[in-house]
Structure formats: structure tokens, C-alpha cells
């Protein structure tokens, strides 16, 4: 059995931890504030950036699953690049460096004219935050056997942001392509990657995690609005065809046996909508 560190044991990290503990692995989880951890996890509460190296155990695998404290460059640098440097400092010179799975984002693909994106597409980040993510990816891959796990827009239990936007009946922005993936499918993808690593499989430097079903933002919002009995706030009909965004698909995980529980937003949002309605009632 393996020794595994989950640096960022929040929602996604806890989901992965539960799977790995059930398989008999020794799992250490770190989260910045809260003290609740899944059963069987050796939990540490504290900021990874201020932890002493002695607080980070010897491990075979590391999952780096950070959440920035804002949507600006400094917040991303602290959450992603700076935490990557902590791992490099602690594990970079060990005799057998661990395999690192860094949960990144498909925002590193800056293409924005409806292009199709897949695992072979080069990253071309445009925004400052996306550039920081790619910097962190490259810093880790220069030192460790690492995989940048590039997730599209994650939704799922407790993630009500899109529903709140639609229900607020604020005017919709110009239509664009959007790509989504359910939280549970991200967890299963990370679990599969850990299994492949522990079997000694050679892994790619990056993989895409998405539901394989890119849709227009207005299509998604129209469907959500109908489910929520909210007013449709789209613009003129001539703007219905998306003029921006990208359409993302990833084949590597599928080739390794990954199967989506939620292959489209229709399947994935139903339970979320019901939970949102109960919360709002």
C-alpha cells in the first residue's frame, strides 16, 4: 500500500481521500482552516505555505488541490505556484521523489474563437491567472514525475454559482462556448490516475478532465432557467451562435477506462437543482 499526501483536502481532496483510504492506502490530508477530515485520514490543519518541512511526511504520491483566495494574479500565485515551491523544497531532493498530481485548469488554453481543444493542443494562456497555472505546472514537471490535471468548469454539490446567476435574472453576457465536469467525475479521474501511477504506468505530463460535451452558455442557461422558472435574459437572436470560447475534449483518460457518471450538464445538474430549490424554499 502507498503513502499519499493530499495537499488541499477540501471537497475534491476529501472525495479522493475517501477512495484511497478504502483501498488501504495511508493518506495524510492538509487543509488550511477546517479540522474535519474523512475517516481514516491523518489530518493536519494549517497553511501549507507556512508549514515546516518536517510536517510533510515521506510519501509516494502527492495531490496538490488548491483553491485561490481570489480571482486575481496574486491569489493564484500564492495558491498554486508558491505551494508548488513548497513541494519542490520538501521533496525535490529526496532519493525517490513522489509522483505529483496538480489539479490545474483548462484556462491554460487561451484559444477563444470556438476552437476544438484536446490533450495534444499546446497551452497558450492569455490571462495572468492562467499564466500562473502554467508556471506552476512547468515548475513541478521540472522536478517530479508530475501530471497537470486540467479540469474544465467544475460543478456539483454545494456549487450553486451558476444557478444563482440564472435565478438573479441579470442580463446574460454574450454567448460563448462553455465546458463542464461534475465534481464526482473529477474525483474518479484522480483516483484512476493514482491507480495508474502505483502500477508503474508511464503518465503524460498533462491530461484534460471534462464531460466531453461542450455547449453554448446560453443553451445551459436556457435549460437552467426553464428548470428554475427564471426569466430568460438572453440578448437578440442574432447573438445565439457563440462567437468566443473553446470546445474541449480529452481522450487520454477515456483510453485508460475512465467512464463519466455525468456525461452532460443535463445529467449532472438535476440533483443540484433539487438541492438548490430546497435551500431556496
Domains and CATH numbers, the chain: 3-155+182-210+247-264 (3.40.50.720)
For residue range 86-132, what is the model confidence (pLDDT) as tens digits? 999 999 999 999 999 999 999 999 999 999 999 999 999 999 999 99
Model confidence, pTM: 0.96
Backbone dihedral region for residue 229 (phi beyond 0: left; psi -120 to 50: alpha; all else: beta): left
Residue 142 backbone phi and psi in degrees, to 5: -75, -15
Which pLDDT does position 240 carry in this prediction? 79
Q: How much of the chain exceeds pLDDT 90, in percent?
A: 94
Which residues of the chain register pLDDT less than 50? Answer: none
Which pLDDT does position 273 carry in this prediction? 96
Amino acid at each position: 500500500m502507498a503513502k499519499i499526501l493530499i495537499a488541499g483536502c477540501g471537497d475534491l481532496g476529501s472525495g479522493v481521500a475517501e477512495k484511497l483510504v478504502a483501498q488501504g492506502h495511508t493518506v495524510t490530508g492538509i487543509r488550511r482552516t477546517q479540522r474535519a477530515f474523512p475517516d481514516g485520514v491523518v489530518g493536519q490543519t494549517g497553511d501549507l505555505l507556512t508549514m515546516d518541512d518536517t510536517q510533510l511526511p515521506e510519501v509516494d504520491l502527492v495531490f496538490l488541490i488548491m483553491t485561490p483566495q481570489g480571482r486575481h494574479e496574486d491569489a493564484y500565485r500564492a495558491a498554486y505556484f508558491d505551494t508548488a515551491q513548497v513541494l519542490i523544497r520538501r521533496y525535490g531532493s529526496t532519493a525517490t521523489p513522489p509522483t505529483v498530481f496538480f489539479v490545474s485548469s483548462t484556462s491554460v488554453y487561451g484559444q477563444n474563437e470556438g476552437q476544438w481543444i484536446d490533450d495534444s493542443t499546446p497551452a497558450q494562456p492569455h490571462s495572468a491567472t492562467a499564466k500562473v497555472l502554467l508556471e506552476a505546472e512547468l515548475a513541478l514537471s521540472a522536478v517530479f514525475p508530475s501530471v497537470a490535471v486540467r479540469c474544465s468548469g467544475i460543478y456539483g454539490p454545494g456549487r450553486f454559482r451558476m444557478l444563482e446567476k440564472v435565478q438573479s435574472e441579470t442580463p446574460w453576457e454574450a454567448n460563448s462556448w462553455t465546458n463542464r465536469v461534475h465534481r464526482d467525475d473529477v474525483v474518479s479521474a484522480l483516483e484512476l490516475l493514482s491507480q495508474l501511477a502505483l502500477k508503474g504506468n508511464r503518465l503524460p505530463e498533462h491530461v484534460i478532465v471534462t464531460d466531453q460535451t461542450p455547449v453554448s452558455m446560453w443553451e445551459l442557461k436556457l435549460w437552467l432557467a426553464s428548470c428554475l422558472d427564471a426569466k430568460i435574459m438572453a440578448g437578440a437572436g442574432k447573438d445565439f451562435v457563440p462567437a468566443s470560447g473553446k470546445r474541449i475534449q480529452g481522450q487520454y483518460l477515456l483510453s485508460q477506462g475512465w467512464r463519466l457518471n455525468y456525461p452532460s450538464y443535463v445529467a449532472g445538474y438535476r440533483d443540484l437543482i433539487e438541492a438548490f430549490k430546497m435551500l431556496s424554499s
